[in-house]
Amino acid sequence: MIYKFASGVAIAFFLAAFNFPQLGPYLLSSLYHLYPDGFPGLALLLLRVSLGWLFILHGYPKITHLQQWAESVKMPVFLCFLSAASMLGGGIFLIVGFLTLLATLPILGSMIFAIYLEVSASKPFVAQDPYLIPENQYKGPLGKGEPPSWEKAFMYCVMLIAIAVLGPGAYSLDALIFGR
């Protein structure tokens, strides 16, 4: 619901600012009253919730198929459990913005290790576009798919570092409990 509202407000602001330049400052000041902590708080909320949801989506299948995942990456089950649990639990904590720094660090460790695994397997940073790969040269698990690379793990690291450095933002349990 908040996403629909925020995107509607953003679209209305841009349309009004381009069509009625004299309304731009008025709209902007009224939005600051609506969101007293400003757009940075909303941006951090969007980043935190999106990233948390993605890690839940990545962690849940890994924790429910732990043995199979451990065999596929050739790692001990215990290490795979720690990684999957950090993604699942850390994702939940990121969404609500609780103990945000402590939630980001274990996931960041998992992503750095994922980068290490990809680099040590000589995977490229950015894989060739799947549509440019000749037929029958690469098939993903469900047919043609994304070729292996470490780009995604790197981008997750960048986002986690941003949240760790900038904090959870005004719209979080951390801000509610510990103040700003």
Residues 104-118: pLDDT tens digits? Answer: 999 999 999 999 988
Are 124 and 138 spatial neighbours (Cβ–Cβ below 8 Å)? no
Residue 10 has pLDDT above 90, yes or no: no
The pLDDT assigned to 137 comes to 60
Q: Grade residue 87 by pLDDT with cuts at 50, 70 and 90.
A: very high
pTM of the model: 0.71
Residues 129-150: pLDDT tens digits? Answer: 655 666 666 555 555 556 678 8
Residues 67-78: pLDDT tens digits? Answer: 998 998 889 999
- Residue bearing tokens 């902590």: 37
The pLDDT assigned to 72 comes to 86
